Amino acid sequence: MAAMEAAVEELKNNIRESARRAEKQIDARAAEVSQSLQQLEAAKRDLEMEKRKLEEERATLVSMEEYFQQQQEEMEALRDEVTKLRRAGGLFGCCMAPSIQDRPEEPSGS
pLDDT at position 96 over 60? no
pLDDT in the model for residue 101: 53
* CB crowding 61-92: b at 16 or more within 10 Å, else e: eeeeeeeeeeeeeeeeeeeeeeeeeeeeeeee
Alpha helices in the chain (DSSP H): 2-88
pLDDT in the model for residue 83: 84
User: Per-residue pLDDT tens for 53-94?
Assistant: 999 999 999 999 999 999 999 999 999 988 888 777 665 554
pLDDT in the model for residue 108: 58
User: Per-residue pLDDT tens for 9-21?
Assistant: 999 999 999 999 9
> What residues have CB less than 8 Å from 95, skipping those under 6 apart?
82
pLDDT in the model for residue 46: 98
Distance CA 32, CA 48 (A): 24
